Structure 1
Amino acid sequence: MYQGFEPREIYDRYEKINELLHRAAVTAEPLELPLVRLKLVRIGFLGIFPNQTYSWHEHPYYELTTVREGRASYFSEELSFSCDAGNRFFTATPPMTPHQLKFGPERVVLFAVNFEMEPRNPVGEQLIRLTPELLRERNSRLVPRERLWTLYSLLNSPEQTECGQVELTALYTRLFFGELLFELLPELFADRLPGRRHPHFDFEHDRINAIKAFIDHDINVRDCLPIEREFGMSERHLNRLFKAATGWSIGQYRIQRKLHVAKTLLRGSRNSIHEISQSLRFGSISQFSAFFRRYCGCSPREYRIGTAVGGEARENLPEE
């Protein structure tokens, strides 16, 4: 990790900083936000020898990087740009996004923050799906304010390295991580989705995706009137169009999406089964359990602890 740090005193300094930051990341409690939970995976400095290339790769977590020394070029399938220490912005890469880094003729030092997100409720799952789109809208380049850079300087101050204060580093790290996410993605700290409307219904070109987006916007709506009002057609006609394109009725698709959210929360969150049933607007745990068992062949508890594997919802959806 430290191979690009030369001479030896620079290597030693960054090695000590990274050791402190690693211990801080390991012990850090997740940030519990209204819709999502943010877990710091890794934070630290990376030294790279001149003229190196990190070939195309991807990883299962979000990555935020900034250049501390030298110059780097970033490439993804959608964009490319160069950055150096004077740019003062973070490059944001969503999970499982292929990207490549190329470095200049001088030594380069990167600062990287890796984190994971998990939903706390169905709206949180929608927000997680939306986050890559938010990053694309900002061209994967996020510019924080001065306060964030002040906290950043505290993370690698010589005094901190010499003292080796784990508790102080942990405090700075938590403050920095929270401030970084608040500056770069304030939507994560809200208690509702950003104020954006589902895609416009384009009858000729995108009608099926528009119907899906409308349902995904709130999977708990059972009344057919909202979707009829939105698209100006009867439920019967919309169902005929949707089923011809997907093989599912609108009702079956809504059940499938609700099952997907339930499974995600059961396996990917710490919410109790009671909390999950409430967020999905079931009247009781018994109603949620009956719904889940009907379509997945096991109870929510069995699915969570892995003693049974739920079947594909599509196989058990009712005929309409």
Structure 2
Amino acid sequence: MEKKRSTKYNTPKDSRLLESDKEIRFELPYETEFENLSYIGVVLYETWHVPGHHHEHFELCYVESGQGWFTIDGSYYTVSQGDLFITKPGESHQGAAAGDLPFRLYYLGFNLEQMRSLEVEYYKIGFNRVEKDENGLIKSIFDNIFDELRMKIFLSKTMVQGLFIQLLVSIVRIYKASSQERNHGAKKLPSDIIEVLNYLHAEIRADLTINDLAHQFHISRSHLAREFKEHLGVTIGEYIRSLCLDKAKHLLLETGESVSSIAVKLHFTSIHTFSIFFKRHSGKSPLEFRNHNTSR
């Protein structure tokens, strides 16, 4: 059921570089320059969230800094600095940054149809999807691939292919070394909680209550409160406040919108209410936060 609800993300058709202050992404279709590597990118975005989707290739993600969560076919995982995780072709997955720390995520899409021995090993990766890059090797290889793609120096394509294979083998070795199925705290996330999470990230607003959500998704208030707290470790109210605070910080730093406009956008009852909320949870007023972080 989960796969049917998720959006299919297609493999890139053209080679190109996509770059902004929040993301760098190289799209590298299999049929052109590289046989197995589809895309590689990095995001730096405190309120990053990707909705449920699936695709026909493997995907590797590596958390360089910050904290977050993701689901694979309804199984819920938390991730933090140094964690890497894999999704397989056809698996429905989604994820988001969490907390106040800057969030930086490397990601890479790849196909192993021409590398059958490695493909078998990747399909063998079981329920335990989160592993630590204990010695920083994975990050180092990611950085080297980025450098080669950016500089485009002599034989850079050959070097990228070699680094890519080194990355694939290194990851398999990491998973193989801890194949005792430690579970890494994974637990099945109910479909109604997944729907609530998707809604909360799509509709970041301060006036949402647990009663509104229970009515929206036809769930009893007590059941929703209990399930949400059990699976995510925080109450719905705490989660909504965290989303609103992260979104407010983003709008204050990345746009020229006025404080009153941001208060309206996040559905606070007044600019005064928004200012009190922001100062209580960040230690600064909205203007103090903006001035302090944009004057550096």
- TM, length-normalised to structure 2: 0.42
For the pair shown, the structure with the greater C-alpha radius of gyration is 1
